Structure 1
């Protein structure tokens, strides 16, 4: 049985950050993972360039049963703090839209940076073996990893959620949490494409068509692109809305978010022989389908009242998804280890001293665009700062 100050389960972003921070504070840390290589989700993120943070990070851009929980960690370890590390390692980066920061080169640079930080802290990383029995007695945790055993007074759960199972993701964090008496907020896919039922087949036939919209689900609204797929709806606006969508609810789309009131009747006065499809300023195939659904042809042959109704529907078009494409296509999950059992400052379970949960394993889920990585860095940093020596 090898002895450490902390055992970190999961060699993803949150786990590597926690190990690096604790190690550089003089703690002896071991990171255990069943995967053959560290940081697999980092490597595929952002099209292989890793959208590693967002300049507009703020607590109101995260979903949680406790919307205040993320404030402490995000406030103490900011996007600027992580960017400082990126620049210290000489990693070139650029900003895309909406504050999203990406590597100029490969996401591999972020993984190498985190591994370098772990090396600076002397952290041991053991990969490619199945996780076995986890025990807890006399203030110490024991973990079997393959044919080896490890013991430490601190255990950090950083195994993520079940999204993208082809990358090895599982729900093991929830099983471990329940074993230690912590509740789990039922997880569901988030940042995920939505599927449409058979009566919306006409829209599924638009597969590949994208256009800027405002998508609304619940009280949330997102102004980005929507994409029609052979199964339903996707694109950034839809992925964002999906985190707030619940089965049985509608998703509302504004196809002309920049249009002013009365724009169709004004168009009628200016070009009475133009058709609605010609007037919509949308991709031609989409414009034709919308006009057909609305039953509006030539503007001059349509009453002002009918045009006003068409305007209203185009600004609040209701889709009724019958589901999502599930964890296989979800970037993250909403839900996870309940925050009411954790300290928002240290990520430690109040009733199980030495037990920490970080990253996607916790019931904190960010918007699309680097927010979830920033939560991984911030929560991992918070736990790494808090881990004590056995004698402390």
Structure 2
């Protein structure tokens, strides 16, 4: 069979793979990107509500989780958020900063994907979609990739297959299988940046709250995020919940404070300063009305004048708000998870070149590695940085 020989094969036409392929192509390397999907960049297109939170200007190693926390430092320094912004600026991308540091496409994530595909074309790299890989044969000096579109041989094979998140977008564990084939360790994987489900009895009690959001602090394993939480018909979501799933696992303690700016003294002061006012009125200025109605079931005295309340009642209310019981059951899993925690052991990969220490000419980039960012554009920045840095060495 005729073998198509190139310098570099990139498996995966997602964020890191496209970045790596273009970078290598600009160096004069012959590059082909293989993807089993019918479209490149599917997760780019659906992320951020279709507008893609493509980076965070505050991206730093502290925003990433890994069994080897030093691994990400080099790449993030060599290709910063500003470097990626400079790239999209050259193409005239319209973008907005929705919250401090978080950059989104102003119109559509398609604008960003078009830039990446343009860069790919300009670099001379080739994209082959609908390509199913049957087997990878590592030989001395070259790697042969056997596919339904023929066989390809290369000096450098880049695995940019992502993790297990959102299988409907084409996610599979194929990258981990390649790593295992050459003896790499895979750190335990789990869905993260994902909504939390709640136990059936509590879900029934909270059903009326579906669709409302409020500012909360979510704490697990001594890590706290204070951001909005959204009640859903399955449980809870929103930035605070997605963030905490990087640090919380089912069965562990999870503390939710639905009035994080409120102190016990604040509650006591209501009675002192406005004795004729009810606590219901006070809470209605602080929390969504439907949530206050739920709290009233637990504390019927909220409708009374605050002057009539006791210290024990106020203390009990404060404890209820500060330790709001959502009765977590688990998560929605990979079906809706934005990222996969865990992955290829980074102790076995070069932090400079991203080359495997187990197999010469094999590289791992992006989400397939055991590097996971916080919510807010950090994971895309890791994709750009790791893809760019590997592209300089393949």
- The TM-score with structure 1 as length reference comes to 0.95
Q: In 1, Cα distance between the equivalents of 2:335 and 2:326?
A: 23
Q: Which residue of 2 aligns with 1:287?
A: 292
Aligned partner of 2:273 among 270, 280, 286: 270
Q: CA deviation at 1:92?
A: 1.4
Residue 141 (structure 1) aligned with residue 148 (structure 2): no
Q: Which residue of 2 aligns with 1:348?
A: 355
Q: Which residue of 2 aligns with 1:390?
A: none
Residue 175 (structure 1) aligned with residue 180 (structure 2): no
Contact conserved, 1:21 with 1:385, CA < 8 A, in 2?
Answer: yes
Q: CA deviation at 1:62?
A: 1.0
- The TM-score with structure 2 as length reference comes to 0.94
Residue 317 (structure 1) aligned with residue 324 (structure 2): yes
Q: Which residue of 2 aligns with 1:223?
A: 226
Where 1:322 maps in the other structure, the secondary structure is strand
Q: CA deviation at 1:322?
A: 1.0
Where 1:353 maps in the other structure, the secondary structure is coil
Where in structure 2 are the equivalents of 1:60-75 lying within 5 Å?
60-75=62-77
1:228-270 deviation per Cα after TM superposition (whole angstroms, max 9, x unaligned): 1111111111111112111111321222222244111111223
Q: In 1, Cα distance between the equivalents of 2:280 and 2:363?
A: 56
Q: Are the structure 2 counterparts of residues 294 and 258 from structure 1 closer, same or farther at C-alpha, using a change threshold of 3 Å? A: same
Where in structure 2 are the equivalents of 1:6-155 lying within 5 Å?
6-155=8-157
Q: CA deviation at 1:112?
A: 1.4
Contact conserved, 2:243 with 2:375, CA < 8 A, in 1?
Answer: yes
Where 1:150 maps in the other structure, the secondary structure is strand
Where 1:69 maps in the other structure, the secondary structure is coil
Q: Which residue of 1 aligns with 2:308?
A: 301
Contact conserved, 1:29 with 1:124, CA < 8 A, in 2?
Answer: yes
Where 1:192 maps in the other structure, the secondary structure is coil
Q: In 2, Cα distance between the equivalents of 1:141 and 1:290?
A: 63
Q: In 1, Cα distance between the equivalents of 2:193 and 2:281?
A: 33
Q: Which residue of 1 aligns with 2:4?
A: 2
Q: In 1, Cα distance between the equivalents of 2:67 and 2:299?
A: 40
Where 2:275 maps in the other structure, the secondary structure is coil
Contact conserved, 2:208 with 2:290, CA < 8 A, in 1?
Answer: no
Contact conserved, 1:50 with 1:103, CA < 8 A, in 2?
Answer: yes
Q: In 1, Cα distance between the equivalents of 2:74 and 2:156?
A: 21
Where 1:189 maps in the other structure, the secondary structure is strand
Q: Which residue of 1 aligns with 2:379?
A: 372
1:161-203 deviation per Cα after TM superposition (whole angstroms, max 9, x unaligned): 1111111111111111111111111111111100000231312
Q: Mind listing any 5+ residue stretches in structure 2 that lack a counterpart?
A: none
Q: Which residue of 2 aligns with 1:336?
A: 343
1:82-138 deviation per Cα after TM superposition (whole angstroms, max 9, x unaligned): 000000011111111131101122211211111121222211111112121111011
- The size of the alignment, in residue pairs, is 387
Q: In 1, Cα distance between the equivalents of 2:9 and 2:222?
A: 40
Moved more, 55-64 or 76-85: 55-64
Moved more, 163-172 or 216-225: 216-225
Contact conserved, 1:276 with 1:291, CA < 8 A, in 2?
Answer: no
Contact conserved, 1:53 with 1:100, CA < 8 A, in 2?
Answer: yes
Q: In 2, Cα distance between the equivalents of 1:135 and 1:246?
A: 38
Q: In 2, Cα distance between the equivalents of 1:66 and 1:277?
A: 49
Q: CA deviation at 1:308?
A: 2.4
Q: CA deviation at 1:328?
A: 0.8
Moved more, 293-302 or 68-77: 293-302
Moved more, 287-296 or 274-283: 287-296
Q: CA deviation at 1:140?
A: 1.4
Contact conserved, 1:250 with 1:320, CA < 8 A, in 2?
Answer: no
Where 2:336 maps in the other structure, the secondary structure is coil
Q: CA deviation at 1:382?
A: 1.1
Q: Are the structure 2 counterparts of residues 289 and 177 from structure 1 closer, same or farther at C-alpha, using a change threshold of 3 Å? A: same
Q: In 1, Cα distance between the equivalents of 2:172 and 2:191?
A: 13
